[in-house]
Structure 1
Amino acid sequence: MRVLIATITAGAGHLQAAAALDEAWRAMRPKDVVEKVDLQKFFSPLHKTVHSAGYVKLVEHAPDLWAMLFKKTDNPKLVRRLTKFRRAIPPASTLRTIKYIKKFKPDVVFCTHYLPVEVMWRAKEKWEGKPPLVATVVTDFEAHALWMGPSSDFYCVAAEETKARLVARGAVSENVIVTGIPIAGKFSSQINGAEVRKRYGLRDDLPILLVLGGGFGMGPVAEILAELDKVPQQFQTLVVAGRNEELRRELAVQDRKHPTHVLGFVTNMHELMSVSDLVISKPGGLTSSEALAMGKPIFILNPIPGQEAANSDFLLERGAAAKVNRVEDLPYRMGQLLGSKKMVEMAQCAKALGKPSAAMDICRVTLERLEAGSGKRVSAD
């Protein structure tokens, strides 16, 4: 069997979801041909720069403009009109992508970003033979209208609320499956917390706050640490600055009231979360899903309008998170939360929401759909 996992660089989450599916499918069916592709490889250099760097700059420097664009485009009728226009006059990158897909001849296509959903609509036209099964894997807790497209055979979504949104907008209920957002298998692994704490010089008698700057090291990480220094309770902090090396160096030389360990880009987030008592982060779909899978409550600070604001609402409503809108409110709220019954309850709610096996579940559902469509038994081993 030939499997294509199509994604786009727009923040780290879509890539992480694609990697989780790649890992899960290879574990279930190691003999299959699996390709994970970032469709930006088919963009022109200018298009690639505008798309990837443009998104980061927009959400960082003009969040209100991003919020307006997000809201205006969250309209199924408008999306259908825009897609039909792009379909009539496809950009060169789309044509290059379609050529690649038809040459690869996949049996299954996973889309972990909405752009491949649109591309597959055109790719399925005049397909020689039976077209591939297209699974759209929504990577946030709320599904924007851009995720919906006629090329999708079914959707895999984070929660019942996500499913309800798609069904209300016309999706067939049985074609929307609640699986959770796919995360790496290591978030289900057994971790020796004592060994992790020893490796980083973390004390056993103090709670640990994990401050995340995201894959690109965006957000007011320095301001967060400055405000945490005003909290009277004793704790220690792990900080992940991501790929922002300038930020890592800046934070590493600063003195702190509370013990602070500053890291750059890491590949062992599962270990860091395992020893942490609270995750302070923007509520991206993947980061939130990782924290929930490990039963870790989330403290949200000033989420990006749009998808992060929607994720924030979901987590707050389900009791797995707390939130402040201004960094100066952090000391008071953190002082209330640390060591409280509320924090224990948040951890319990997070654990109840977690879906650590989401990637495997998505692959199993897909195999079942393939079997139903072909009338043949499709082995999961």
Structure 2
Amino acid sequence: MTSKTPKIMILYASYGDGHYQASKAIEAVFRSKGVSEVFLLDLMAEAHPVLNGLTKFVYLQSFKTLPSIYGWVYNFTKEMQPETSLLGVINSFGINKLQQLINKAQPDLIIHTFPQIAMPRLFKKTGKSLPFVNVVTDFDLHGRWIHPDVDRYYVATDDLKQEMIDRGISHERILVSGIPLKPDFVPERIPETEALAHLDPSKKTILLMAGAYGVMGGIRDISETILASGRYQIVAVCGKNEDLYRGLNEAFGSSPDFHLFSYVNQVAAFMRASDGIITKPGGITLSEALACRLPIFLYRPVPGQELNNALYLKNKGIARIANNPKSLAAQIDALLTNESDLSDLIQKIENLRKPEAAEVIVDDIMTQWFEPASSELVLTAEGSSYIW
């Protein structure tokens, strides 16, 4: 343990937006506690920009064109052991760059929010050591997250903790924290937004989120089916997919019940204003919906971690899964018009939601590795710190 203010490095990847958002959430809590030296590193982008761009493209395209192949690869390798040759190759990408950046930044602790566990290979190469932890950002466990040298794991659920224990990880090294979310999702901090001021209070609101890169399919058919009943209004968020935005605007832009947005930062406010969400089942988005006690409807989840996330929440009685717009609309009607079922669902969500996960993770890290300084650390309005 040390009493100095620590330096923290967070390793993430930009395959989707969730790993970055989890990293930013952890960073925000560290900074709120006066830890000003927090470094975020997209290791693949920094070390191998061309390869990173290629693999990112393939990853995003797999959701559209080859979902079954992606799912097969994910599930085939799910039980992979940490010292296999394949994982050794994957985890070796970028370690020379990582060594340079660690030498420069001199962090006291490393956090992984993406399962490319580079630190053990770096330790073996250099003979040096640092504490490092894994923040698992899904409700499903893949073997890539596990390595015997990881000092601590932060996971979403008790079920995930038990699965890790079954794989040989001692329970003392696992904390059920939840998946870290931005401070906006702590209930008393959820803001309002003028962007939704024109919603019709007489109709229930369905939030349709296509993902950060707008890769969820079937959105036009879903919107057409839900709007046809006249009972709902849709708030559609297209992420960074400009083609999707233009197509939906052409199809539904004149409808008073269709409200269209591209990429938004006020996700908590959008969820709070809604009665249900249709989305792709990424771990962060699901955790955000749970934090807002929002009924979840999942459409054709892609095989792999997202389908496994979806099935986990379905088995918990929290999420509904549909494979065509008609059955999706029927599920929405059945739930949102039945107060008893809705109340039961909200209670199940209550048992699983953990909106303050980022705070739990940071508090635990500080307790495990860094003693509080004897003097009080105060954060200024500008975000810099000084000793009072």
Contact 1:282 1:303 in 2 (8 A): yes
Distance 1:323 1:268 in 2: 26
**Identical aligned pairs, as a percentage?**
27
Aligned residue among 77, 83, 87 for 1:80 = 83
Query: Pairwise CA RMSD of aligned residues?
Result: 2.3
Call closer, same or farther: CA 1:201–1:192 in 2, change over 3 Å. farther
Aligned residue among 37, 62, 69 for 1:33 = 37
Distance 1:202 1:23 in 2: 31
| Aligned match of 2:75 | 71
Give CA-to-partner distance per residue, 1:99-137, whole Å, 9 cap, x none: 22233221111100011x2x11122236576x2211100
Call closer, same or farther: CA 1:192–1:76 in 2, change over 3 Å. closer
Mean CA deviation greater in 50-59 or 288-297: 50-59
Counterpart of 2:221 in 1: which secondary structure?
helix
Distance 1:201 1:74 in 2: 46
Distance 1:101 1:192 in 2: 36
Offset of residue 46 of structure 1: 2.6
Contact 2:179 2:357 in 1 (8 A): yes
Distance 2:345 2:225 in 1: 22
| Aligned match of 1:110 | 111
Counterpart of 2:317 in 1: which secondary structure?
coil
| Aligned match of 2:382 | none
| Aligned match of 1:24 | 29
Aligned residue among 170, 177, 180 for 1:179 = 177
Distance 2:189 2:145 in 1: 35
Distance 2:213 2:155 in 1: 25
Counterpart of 1:161 in 2: which secondary structure?
helix
Distance 2:141 2:353 in 1: 18
TM-score normalized by structure 2? Answer: 0.88
Name the count of aligned residue pairs. Answer: 368
2:91 pairs with 1:125: no
2:213 pairs with 1:208: no
2:297 pairs with 1:299: yes
Mean CA deviation greater in 319-328 or 148-157: 319-328
Give CA-to-partner distance per residue, 1:16-40, whole Å, 9 cap, x none: 111111111111124x411011112
Aligned residue among 215, 240, 243 for 2:240 = 243
Give CA-to-partner distance per residue, 1:243-300, whole Å, 9 cap, x none: 1112112112324777010100000011100110101111110000011111111011
Contact 1:4 1:106 in 2 (8 A): yes
Mean CA deviation greater in 249-258 or 161-170: 249-258
Distance 1:336 1:189 in 2: 27
2:279 pairs with 1:281: yes
| Aligned match of 2:3 | none
Distance 2:200 2:190 in 1: 15
Distance 1:318 1:148 in 2: 25
Q: Which has the higher contact order (CA 8 A, sep 6+)?
A: 2
Contact 1:294 1:351 in 2 (8 A): no
Distance 1:253 1:324 in 2: 26
Give CA-to-partner distance per residue, 1:163-187, whole Å, 9 cap, x none: 1111111111110110000000011
| Aligned match of 1:15 | 20
Mean CA deviation greater in 345-354 or 257-266: 345-354
Distance 1:308 1:253 in 2: 30
| Aligned match of 2:365 | 366
Contact 1:183 1:359 in 2 (8 A): yes
| Aligned match of 1:346 | 345
Contact 2:210 2:239 in 1 (8 A): yes
Call closer, same or farther: CA 1:174–1:288 in 2, change over 3 Å. same
Call closer, same or farther: CA 1:127–1:363 in 2, change over 3 Å. farther
Call closer, same or farther: CA 1:85–1:243 in 2, change over 3 Å. closer
Offset of residue 378 of structure 1: 5.7
Distance 2:176 2:285 in 1: 18
Offset of residue 226 of structure 1: 1.8
Which 5+ residue runs of structure 2 have no aligned equivalent? 1-5, 378-388
Which 5+ residue runs of structure 1 have no aligned equivalent? none
Counterpart of 1:316 in 2: which secondary structure?
helix
Offset of residue 83 of structure 1: 5.4
Distance 1:196 1:85 in 2: 46
Contact 1:13 1:284 in 2 (8 A): yes
2:9 pairs with 1:4: yes
Call closer, same or farther: CA 1:90–1:318 in 2, change over 3 Å. closer
Counterpart of 1:319 in 2: which secondary structure?
coil
Counterpart of 1:210 in 2: which secondary structure?
strand
Call closer, same or farther: CA 1:62–1:127 in 2, change over 3 Å. same
Mean CA deviation greater in 155-164 or 47-56: 47-56
Contact 2:87 2:144 in 1 (8 A): no
Contact 2:26 2:359 in 1 (8 A): yes
Contact 1:13 1:286 in 2 (8 A): yes
Amino acid at match of 2:207: L
Amino acid at match of 1:322: R
Contact 2:274 2:294 in 1 (8 A): yes
Counterpart of 2:251 in 1: which secondary structure?
coil
Distance 2:295 2:277 in 1: 6
| Aligned match of 1:169 | 167
Offset of residue 377 of structure 1: 4.6
Contact 1:124 1:151 in 2 (8 A): no
TM-score normalized by structure 1? Answer: 0.90
